[in-house]
């Protein structure tokens, strides 16, 4: 029996585990969370308002399809190894607990569905209490049933800002305005051309329509071509500066206005969680997603990938990709009829995903930073400090400034530091590689005993 | 079902299943950690940024946004220079 390990229980991972299991594989689904569902299905089974959670029917179907699957929740994968068998090392136990138990899983095939997290561009004042990522608003609304402020500015780029604004409104908070970096012209061009592609992804377009409807009902202003360029407050958020930005996201002088608020939700797109794929040795694309073939197979034998780590596209395309990856991991041959429906769905939904490029980050954003703006939140490293070492080697810059060396390991600031250094010196600093994939306590590391090495690894040494 | 946790000596009540971070927010606390001289609380909300870490029952570095509160949890602030 083919042993398949799926890492990550969001839409892509659930679909992969379900299809691999139905195809006869022995499947283990590993996820860091206490409940399956990932960032998309993070509702609490009893107290989350049902209107906050989308596609619950689909979630219930997937749950039922996991009957034969071993689900390891509260399991953090901290190391993976290529070879035969593939190995996945996890620590299982309460979140950040001191006595988690180590487990090593061996597999013939692995499906990586590690997803993505918000990318938040630094803004002067963004460390003030009351400023969160847009994803935090969703997580708090769905999981905890709370909003952070009474009057929130939602700012950044992309359609994800709309459900965030809707969640705040549904929980009774006021959305002062939604500030979108892409210009009205860019949005018309990006979403208005070849409308038949969007009709084919009708569910998706309908969803966006519903969000826009909520904004209209609450008379929430929507400002394209603009950005929050400064956050003000003494001890916590009191107001933001909103400014027009040009097509390269450079702030336009003379356009600043002040908006009073007590919370700010920022989201400028998403960063794929690539560390496990990189540790396996998977090849990346030029725009730094995991390269996969038509069967969602990576460049590493036995390792498949699906969902946001292969390109940002949202839950629907992730479900289709996951289903394909699960079938392939279980050994179902290309051309099998079972691929037909998910392949068709993937083709249709990728056309929708391609439109997200309309909202892609442009290099002019660094124009709204001050010298003393904190870039690395963990180490409180400012822009001026990073610029002072922009010509040093990647390692030298990090050691001198400590940017990216704190507890989050550069997940929050990494790509912003790359932009700042790149704009100054053209150097190609990269933050994607992390030898330890998740937080591990020293004692847990000390207690770890490696099983015997793979025969193949041994003969190579 | 409700749970009660203790934060810096204060008793806070939450719903069973809420995260420690969620209960602190409902209890009127926006921040519970000092970093580089400034106050921090929830930022990413999904366990990535490590900004919201607290000490829970004597164990340091626990992400408040990820840890489901258990009845009787004793939560303390953390300071990072």
* Residues A410-441 pLDDT 10s: 999 999 999 999 877 766 778 888 999 999 99
Cβ atoms of A62 and A84 within 8 Å: the answer is no
B11-38 as b/e, with b when 16 or more CB fall inside 10 Å?
A: ebebbebbbbbbbbbbeebbbbbebbee
Averaged pLDDT for residues A194-210:
66
Q: A280-283 — which CB contacts under 8 Å span 24+ positions?
A: A280/A80, A280/A81, A280/A82, A280/A86, A280/A110, A280/A112, A281/A82, A282/A112
CA distance B37 to chain A (A): 9
Averaged pLDDT for residues A30-50:
86
User: How many whole angstroms separate alpha carbon A27 and alpha carbon A65?
Assistant: 12
More confidently predicted of A341 and A430: A341
Which pLDDT value is given to residue A198? 64
Cβ of B59 within 8 Å of Cβ of A96? The answer is yes
| pLDDT class of A448 with cuts at 50, 70, 90 | confident
Flag whether pLDDT at A359 surpasses 60. yes
Inter-CA distances, B39 with A99, B42, B78, Å: 29, 11, 10
The reply to whether A117 touches chain B by the CB within 8 Å rule is yes
CA distance A332 to chain B (A): 35
Best residue in B3, B21, B42 for a mutation probing chain A (most A CBs within 10 Å):
B42
Mean pLDDT score of chain B: 94
In A150-261, where do the E strands start and end? 151-156, 174-180, 222-223, 226-232, 239-244, 257-260
Cβ of B19 within 8 Å of Cβ of A97? The answer is no
This prediction's pTM: 0.94
Q: What percentage of chain A exceeds 70 in pLDDT? A: 94
Averaged pLDDT for residues A378-387:
96
Residues of B in contact with A379 (CB under 8 A): 36
Q: Can you say whether the dihedral through the CA atoms of A313, A319, A320, A321 is positive or negative?
A: positive
The reply to whether A46 touches chain B by the CB within 8 Å rule is yes
User: How many whole angstroms separate alpha carbon A263 and alpha carbon A131?
Assistant: 6
Cβ of B42 within 8 Å of Cβ of A148? The answer is yes
Cβ of B59 within 8 Å of Cβ of A97? The answer is yes
Cβ of B67 within 8 Å of Cβ of A95? The answer is yes
List the structure tokens of A203: 């569910």
| pLDDT class of A30 with cuts at 50, 70, 90 | very high
| pLDDT class of A395 with cuts at 50, 70, 90 | confident
Mean pLDDT score of chain A: 91
Flag whether pLDDT at B27 surpasses 90. yes
User: How many whole angstroms separate alpha carbon A105 and alpha carbon A139?
Assistant: 30
**Least-confidence region, from A68-82, A338-352, B62-76:** A338-352
Averaged pLDDT for residues B15-19:
91
| pLDDT class of A199 with cuts at 50, 70, 90 | low
CA distance B10 to chain A (A): 20
The reply to whether A436 touches chain B by the CB within 8 Å rule is no
Q: Pick from A96, A268, A127: which is nearest to B19 by CA? A: A96
List the structure tokens of A392: 């040093």
| pLDDT class of A456 with cuts at 50, 70, 90 | low
| pLDDT class of A216 with cuts at 50, 70, 90 | confident
Averaged pLDDT for residues A395-418:
93
3-class DSSP assignment, residue A136: helix
More confidently predicted of A406 and A47: A406
Averaged pLDDT for residues A16-20:
98
Flag whether pLDDT at A285 surpasses 90. yes
């Amino acid at each position: 029996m083919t042993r398949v390990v799926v890492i990550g229980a969001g839409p892509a991972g659930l679909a992969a585990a379900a299809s691999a299991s139905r195809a006869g594989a022995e499947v283990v689904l590993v996820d860091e969370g206490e409940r399956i569902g990932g960032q998309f299905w993070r509702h609490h089974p009893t107290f989350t308002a049902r209107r906050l959670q989308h596609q619950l029917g689909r979630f219930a179907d997937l749950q039922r399809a996991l009957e034969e699957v071993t689900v390891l929740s509260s399991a953090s994968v901290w190391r993976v190894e290529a070879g035969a068998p593939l190995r996945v090392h996890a620590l299982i136990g309460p979140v950040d607990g001191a006595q988690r138990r180590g487990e090593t899983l061996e597999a013939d095939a692995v499906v990586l569905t590690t997803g993505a997290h918000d990318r938040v561009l630094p803004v002067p004042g963004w460390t003030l209490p009351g400023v969160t990522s847009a994803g935090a608003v969703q997580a708090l609304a769905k999981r905890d049933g709370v909003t952070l402020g009474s009057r929130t500015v939602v700012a950044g780029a992309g359609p994800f800002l709309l459900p965030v604004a809707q969640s705040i409104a549904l929980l009774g908070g006021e959305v002062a305005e939604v500030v979108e970096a892409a210009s009205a012209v860019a949005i018309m061009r990006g979403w208005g051309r070849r409308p038949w592609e969007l009709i084919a992804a009708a569910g998706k377009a309908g969803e966006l329509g519903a969000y826009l409807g909520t904004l209209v009902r609450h008379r929430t202003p929507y400002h394209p071509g603009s950005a929050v360029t400064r956050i003000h407050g003494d001890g916590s958020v009191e107001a933001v500066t909103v400014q027009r930005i040009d097509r390269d996201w450079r702030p336009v002088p003379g356009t600043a206005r002040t908006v009073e608020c007590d919370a700010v939700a920022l989201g400028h797109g998403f960063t794929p969680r690539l560390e496990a794929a990189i540790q396996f040795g998977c090849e990346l694309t030029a725009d730094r997603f995991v390269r996969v073939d038509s069967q969602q197979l990576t460049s590493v034998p036995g390792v498949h990938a699906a969902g946001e780590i292969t390109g940002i596209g949202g839950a629907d395309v992730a479900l289709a990709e996951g289903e394909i990856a699960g079938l392939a991991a279980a050994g179902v041959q290309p051309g099998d009829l079972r691929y037909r429906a998910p392949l068709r769905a993937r083709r249709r939904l990728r056309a929708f995903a391609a439109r997200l490029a309309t909202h892609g980050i442009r290099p002019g954003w660094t124009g709204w930073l001050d010298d003393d703006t904190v870039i690395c939140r963990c180490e409180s490293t400012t822009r001026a400090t990073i610029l002072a070492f922009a010509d040093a080697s990647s390692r030298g810059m990090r050691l001198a400034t400590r940017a990216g060396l704190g507890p989050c390991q550069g997940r929050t600031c990494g790509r912003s530091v790359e932009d700042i250094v790149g704009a100054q010196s053209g150097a190609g600093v990269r933050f994607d590689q992390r030898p330890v994939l998740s937080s591990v306590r020293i004692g847990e590391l000390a207690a770890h005993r490696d099983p015997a090495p793979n025969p193949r690894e041994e003969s190579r040494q | 079902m409700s749970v009660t946790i203790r934060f810096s000596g204060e008793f806070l009540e939450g719903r069973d299943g809420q995260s420690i971070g969620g209960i602190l927010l409902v209890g009127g606390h926006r921040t519970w950690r000092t970093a580089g001289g400034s106050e921090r609380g929830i930022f990413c909300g999904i366990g990535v940024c490590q900004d919201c870490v607290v000490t829970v029952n004597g164990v340091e570095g626990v992400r408040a946004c990820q840890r489901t509160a258990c009845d009787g949890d004793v939560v303390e602030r953390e300071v990072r220079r």
